Amino acid sequence: MTTPPTPPTPGSAPDPRRTRAEAERTDLAARVRDVSITYRTTFEKKPTLKQALVRFGRGQRAVSEIQALKNVSFEVPVGTSLGIVGANGAGKSTLMRALAGILPPTSGTVETWGRASTLLALGVGFNNSLSGRENVILGGLAAGLSKEEVEERADEIAEWTELGEFIDMPMRTYSSGMFSRVAFSVAVHMEPDLLMIDEALSAGDAHFREKANAKMEELRGRARAMFLVSHGLGSIKEMCSEAIWLDHGRLMMQGSPDEVVDEYMKFLKVKKTATTTEDI
C-alpha cells in the first residue's frame, strides 16, 4: 500500500480538472482520506414524540454521539483483496458502508473506482412476503442494474442458490442459511468491479461455503478489488492479499494479512489455535 496523500484543505474549493483527472485513474480501486464518521443515536429503541415531550419537561437529552471512524486513511490499488479485521464495534461495518456510499463521511473523502456490489451484515431481504426470485430482482435493481440486465440474470442467480422450489416461496419461510444464499448469489452475480462482503458466509453450510469461496476466488480474478470483513482470521489469511486492522474507529495497522492477523492476535492476547483463527 502507498502512503495516502494530504487530504484537501477543509472548506477549499475543488479543482474540476484535478477531479476529472482523478476519475480517469486506473491504478486505484478505492481511496479513503482522513475519514471520520460520527453519528447521533438515541437511547430509546423507538424514539417517539411523546417521549421527546416528556424529556423536554425534564430537560434531559436522549441523543448520544458515536465516533465510529476516526481519521482513517488508506489506499487500495487495483487487484487487491483487502481483509478488514477488528473486534466488535471497531468500525468495520461502518467502513464498509462508507466505501459503499451508504454512510457519507462526517469529514474526509471516500473515493471508489468501479461499480460496487455489497453483501453486508444482515444480508438482503427487502420484502419477506415476496419470493426469493422476486427479491433477487429487487436486489439487482437496488444495486443499480437495469430491468433488462436483472431479468437476464434472474434465472442464473436463482439457480446458483440451489434452493429448488424454495426460490419461489415467500422469504419468510426461509432459514438464515437460505437467506445467506440468496444474498450472496445476488451480490456475486452483479459482475461488480468492487465486491464488498461483510460476515456473509457465517450462516451457510459447508457445501455453500465451499461454493461461495470458489465463486469469490473466481471473482477475485475479474473484479478490481475485493473487501472482506470477517472474524474468521483463517479466511482473511487465505483469501486476502492485504489487510487492515481497526480498533475503536482508528486504523491500527495495514500490511500483509499474516502480519496484521498476528499483531491483532497479540493485541487480543489469544493463542493461535484452530478455533481462534476461525472464530475470533
| Residues near other proteins (CB under 8 A) | 7-12, 14, 16, 19-20, 22-23, 39-42, 46-50, 52, 97-98, 100-116, 118-127, 129-130, 134, 137-138, 141-144, 146-147, 193
At 14, phi and psi to the nearest 5? -75, 150
**Shortest Å distance, C-beta 147 to other proteins:** 5
Nearest to 228 by CA among 252, 261, 205: 261
Residue 108 near residue 32 (C-beta atoms within 8 A)? yes
Task: Report the candidate in 89, 108, 88, 90 with the shortest Cα–Cα distance to residue 98.
Answer: 108
Whichever of 3 and 129 has its CB closer to other proteins, that residue is 129
Q: Looking at beta carbons only, is 134 or 262 nearer to other proteins? A: 134
Least separation in angstroms between CB 12 and other proteins: 7
Query: Would you state the cell numbers that stand for residue 80, as one nine-digit string?
Result: 487487491
Instruction: Compare residues 127 and 176 and give the one whose CB is closer to other proteins.
Output: 127
Nearer CB in complex with other proteins: 157/280: 157
Could you count the other beta carbons within 10 Å of the beta carbon of residue 198? 21
Give the Å distances, CA to CA, from 181 to 64, 188, 207, 211, 220.
36, 11, 11, 10, 19
The DSSP bridge partners found for residue 250 are: 247
Q: Is 96 helix (H, G, I), strand (E, B) or coil?
A: helix
Tell me the closest approach of the beta carbon of residue 168 to other proteins, in angstroms.
13
d(CA 123, CA 175): 13
Q: 119, 208, 206: which is closest to 162 by C-alpha?
A: 208
Shortest reach from residue 33's CB to other proteins, in Å: 9
Q: Which is nearer to other proteins, 87 or 141 (CB)?
A: 141
Closest separation in Å from C-beta 20 to other proteins? 6
Task: Pull the grid cell for residue 13.
Answer: 474549493
Q: How far is the CB of 263 from other proteins (least distance, A)?
A: 29
Instruction: Report the length, in residues, of the chain.
Output: 280
Shortest CB 35 distance to other proteins, Å: 9
**For residues 149 and 262, which CB has a smaller minimum distance to other proteins in the complex?**
149
Decide whether 42 or 273 has the Cβ nearer to other proteins.
Answer: 42
